[in-house]
Each structure stands twice: as C-alpha cells, then as structure tokens.
Structure 1
Amino acid sequence: MLGELTDQQMDELLKKQVTGRLGCHADGLTYVVPVNYTYDGKHIYAHSAEGMKVNLMRKNPEVCFEVDNIENIFKWESVILWGRFEEIEGVDEQQRVMQGIIHRLMPLAEKPDSHPSHGITANDSDIGTRIDLVIYRIVITKRTGRFERD
C-alpha cells in the first residue's frame, strides 16, 4: 500500500534520521550529496567546508532535501522538502548549531575519538585553522512525505 505521511510522521522521520541528501543547482549543474544534519521542527541544520555544494548554494539558495528510511523494497518512508539555504554568520548561533550537531551525531560514532567534522578533515583541530567551516540552515518552505507498506 502506498500512502502519504502526516505532518507528525514527517517530523518523526526528519528527527530520527541523521543523514539526508541535499540537492542544489546553479550554472546549469545539479549536485546531490549526502549530508549529516539536525532538524528543529522548522529548519535543517548542517555544516560543510567550502566547496562545490556551498558555492552552488551561494549562487542559488533554493535547494531540495530528501530523507528516507528503507527497510526493504516494499517497506519504506521518505520526506522530500524544499527550502532556502542561509549561512549562519553570528558566532553565538554558529556555536549553538554546532553543539546541536555534536550532540546528535556523536552518540552514533563508532570510534570514541571521532569528531563531527570527520568527513571534512581528519583532525578536529584543523577546523578554524586550516579549514573554514560553513554552518548553515535550510529554511523549509514546502515538504511532502510518502510511504509504502506491505
């Protein structure tokens, strides 16, 4: 049976998952990449080093984001949302968002010496010295959710 997720079910899926797929588009190039994130009920929060994804979102802040939970080919649920990329500039808000990301991701780390920017740099100490971190939110403007159950 195919169906639509309720608002509550979409919120639950967005809060339960930690990795989604971010789609961005500019200059004739579409780019989809997995990102770790947190969700507060209104926004998706994430971080990244400077690179293709950030450059594309700066040129065109309209993005798409997808999260799913797939148990098997006939039992899955998915949320797709659209929104606007916004860089977080204030130091206090950057710290608050990073603490949220750390608290959400670190309990899932397999190695006790891991850090939340492991995909960006091998060393936590590189952040802010060798590599600048871009902390951002997606302001959600529209979303839809679907499921299939056997």
Structure 2
Amino acid sequence: MQIRTLSTLECTKLLTANRVGRLACAKEGQPYIVPFYYAHADNHLYAFSLPGKKITWMRANPLVSVQIEGHGDGRGWKSVIVNGRYEELPDRIGHKVQLDHAWSLLSRHNDWWEPGALKPETSSVAEHFPNVFFRIFIAEVSGREALAG
C-alpha cells in the first residue's frame, strides 16, 4: 500500500462527489461523532437536522470536524478531513438567502431530509420539531489516499 497526500483540489472533488460524512463535535472534553448527509458548495457543507445532541453540542462549541471517505481499486481508499465551524441558518429575517440556498442544494437529491427524521414542511408535526438547517464553514481541508500495489 502506498499512501499519498491529496491536493486541496482533490479533497474538494471528493467532498463534492459524496453526500454522506461523519460529523464530529465535542462538549466539555467529550467527543461525539455521527453520520450526516450534506451538500458541498462555496466552501461550506450544508446540512439539515432535527434538534438533538449534535445540534446542542455544536451550539455550545461550534468547532467541528468532518470525515468523508471514498473507496478506490481493490483495497485502495481516500479520506478527507474538514476542520470547520458550525453556522446555524435560522428561519428568520437576515438568513433567508442562506436558508434558501441550503434548501436548494440539499433538495437536489431524493430523500435528502433523511436521516433528519422528518421531511421539512408546514404541518403541526413540523411545528413541534423545528427543523435546523446549518452549514459547516470549511476552515481547513486535508486528505490522503491509499493506493493498492
């Protein structure tokens, strides 16, 4: 196996080509990691969730990491790590453009709202479980590739 460092462009291509990653956050020294769906655009990863542990923790500590992987030939693989900052996109004046942009990017894919649990819509259920749209500002990106051979 040969390991090589990916260029920033190669990392960006892997982020764009994938939709599922692992989101890591921390609170009071305790790490927490979960899978999440995202859309990559303009140096951000856009995502959706219902309120819960990850949202609570990211509100308390907005510094996060994301890991994305791809599989190559044979035992080959690629992995990209994003270090960034959680930015919530609330449904209120001043954030409408960013919220609409997130919705537009995410809704290009079928079932984009899963694993957020409930499809965002106006209903009595949605009022009890407010949807949280957020983005991760990409402050730093790095990656590696393992080549079989």
| Superposed pair shares fold, TM > 0.5 | yes
Q: CA deviation at 1:123?
A: 5.3
Q: Pick from 114, 120, 145 the counterpart of residue 118 of structure 1.
A: 114
Q: Paired residue for 1:140, among 122, 138, 141?
A: 138
Q: Which letter maps to 1:3? A: R
Could you say which residue in structure 2 is the equivalent of 1:48? 49
Q: Which amino acid aligns with 1:137?
A: R
Taking a change above 3 Å as real, the CA distance of residues 4 and 41 of structure 1, as seen in their structure-2 partners, is farther
Question: What is the CA RMSD across the aligned residues, in angstroms?
Answer: 1.9
Superposed displacement of residue 28, structure 1:
3.0
Residue 94 of structure 1: aligned partner: 99
For residues 142 and 44 of structure 2, the distance between their equivalents in structure 1, rounded to whole angstroms, comes to 15
SS at match of 1:50: coil
Cα drift, residue 76 of structure 1: 0.4
TM-score (structure 1 length as normaliser):
0.85
Q: What number of residue pairs does the alignment pair up? A: 141
Q: Aligned partners of 1:92, 1:143: CA distance in 2, in Å?
A: 26
Give 5+ residue unaligned stretches, structure 2: none
Structure 1, unmatched stretches of 5+, are 107-114
Report deviation, 1:131: 1.6
Contact preservation (8 Å) 1:11, 1:41: no
| Structure 2 CA distance for partners of 1:144 and 1:19, relative to 1, 3 Å | same
Q: Could you tell me the TM-score, scaled by structure 2's length?
A: 0.85
Q: Tell me the equivalent position of 1:33.
A: 34
- 1:27–1:73 distance in 2 versus 1, CA, 3 Å: farther
